Structure 1
Amino acid sequence: MSFFRNQFSDVVEWREFREDMIFWKWNNEEIKKGSKLIIRPGQDAVFFNGGRIEGIFEDDGEYDIESQIVPFLSTLKGFRFGFNSGMRVEVLFVNTKEFTVKWGTQNPINIPTPQLPGGMPIRANGTFNFKVNDYVGLIDKVAGVRTSYLVDDVKIRITSVLDQLLMKWISREGKDMFNLQANASDIAGGIKDDLDMQIMDMGMKITGFNIMSFNYPKEIQDMITKNASHGMIGDLSKYQQVSVTDAMASGKLSGSGAASDMAGMMMGMNMANEMMKNMNQSNPNQSQSQASSQTNQPSSSNAGGGQMPNFCPNCGQKTTGANFCPNCGQKLV
């Protein structure tokens, strides 16, 4: 005698499948005679009644429920059969794929740091991955009271605790607050473990957590960028010379404009100063000897070699160091 005698055919399937839906529950009053079960790729079909799982079917395809499904159910005592009313049961269709969700802090998180007494306001963004891994927990905590569950529902639960976890793990692993990206992997690993505990009782598992970037306030980011650029440049004077030389070679400073003339003059002065500095540094003894010889050179007043008399031999006037007598004009040397 058939369990489904005098009943119309029906199809048990996930009618409104969505990529962002974690599960959908088929809960018609009864499964009728000749009913078919359709499982599509990426889906599992879980038969349960009264919170008890009767059977899990994972292979995609089309099945005759009476001949191919019922014989494999764990027990028939949990079902209520009526030869004229069919079999009452619920079927939970589960999306088996791994979901990827983007996240980002809505407001800056003030991370305590010695450099800033009020804390450093930081934003972050990235992705996390999760999937269903426990149908008992899923039915007990979620599917027992809901007909469907979306990825956004999980995202809301995750982001509600994410700020606290970011603060916890950045403070613990972020040794250099101005270069948090260097410790992003360790920070993400700690957050992943904590988030896994948050959704474990829902029959789900966090399979990955990534931090793509940390965002600082504009003032701090400008300071970080400036320090990094100075470190890359090294010798600023050489950098200035190379920059001007490259600009002239590329033709950017060619022409007769005042700006190009000034730039050329500045470059010439800088290069001359650098050359003199390098020459003095390379041969300091020669510079000292030249200075000494200039100091000991005789003055122009007695450059001719004769000795200057104290009184004019013609008129007896006292000389004043000039080459001629100031009184009579007699040549003294």
Structure 2
Amino acid sequence: MKQILSWFQVIALTSTCYLALMLWFFPRIAVEHAGLDALWAVLGVTVIGVLTGWVLGLTTERFPNLTGAEIGKLVWGKWIGTVVEVLYIPIYIYFSALCIYFFVVVLNSFLPNTPLLVLMVTMCLVAARGAWLGVESLGRVASIVFPITFLGTIVIFLSLLFQAHRFWIPHTVTSWSNTIEGIYYLYPLYFGFTIARMLSPYYEHKKLRSIWYPIISAAAGGVAIIIVALAVILNLGWEGTRDISFSLPFAIQLVRLTNSPIERVGIVIIILTTAFTVLFVSNVTWALSSLGARIFNMPEDKHKWFICPIIILTIVVAASFRSEQQAFQFLDKYLVPLGWVEVFVIPLLQWITAVLRGLRTEPVPNQKKKT
């Protein structure tokens, strides 16, 4: 398979495939479940995120020329592997749909006269076009969108953090059970990280280097969410963060950049996150369509056949959520436990099984011995 992605494009693509699910309200989730230990829970979930990146890195380096569906079939056998990989499709359609729903709810506060369905359809059509163009185009776009969004988020929320009047940060854990509960409910931040398995054949695997790509991605994402959590909680307070469903967009309205030519910084965040979210939906759609093609042993370019049904199902599911409360209940009841299973448990078991069975595919190019 042609290796068409650079190391930076791999990190950028991976980084734009998670965080979208709970980006707008994760400080509230942290405070709701961990209380005064909310910041410890955020720190804990970033550590778990880095560990997840390490597990995914180990798996992709063991099977550098296989995608997720092919890895599953090799490790667990054709039938069990196929069943496991097929289950990813409906779960990730719901995941993508829920991300879209939450984002358009936030976006609707800036565009109150635009129906939610119109925003959903528009986003999905643009995303479908990106998925249709393929992973090379997505990689190029991600290499632009990711650094701009990442740096913009860091700068804006650091500004918000330094203008906070509350600088009290707990330096001890008051309740380990609350902290663990907060970590448990925050983990869907990393739902979507498994795209690393689908990207594996599209870049060159270099010894002691490429294993770090998902780890670097998780570490960068962790830095961002820690800064965001600190800025939101220290500005709104623990009770204020708990009482506001979408605390992040509320907090960015407090940003004041002295002598800045940008009057409403919140609009900049919305523009950046719109590009991020559309790219995210494109990435997930491409990954699911490629997964479908691999499951049926179809050529690489046949993934386009699956894009239309996946996008239609995503729109239908996103439009089926009737209220924020229903969406939050679905997240807590289904996607939280499924996130742990799909993103952490299955890849870990897959890697352990491969090690125990001594399975691996051809070594990466610079590991081959000269004859």
Which category describes the TM-score, using the shorter chain as reference length? under 0.3
Q: Per residue, is there more helix in 1 or in 2?
A: 2
Q: Per residue, is there more strand in 1 or in 2?
A: 1
TM-score normalized by the length of structure 2: 0.20
For CA contacts below 8 A with separation 6 or more, give which structure has more relative contact order. 2
TM-score normalized by the length of structure 1: 0.21
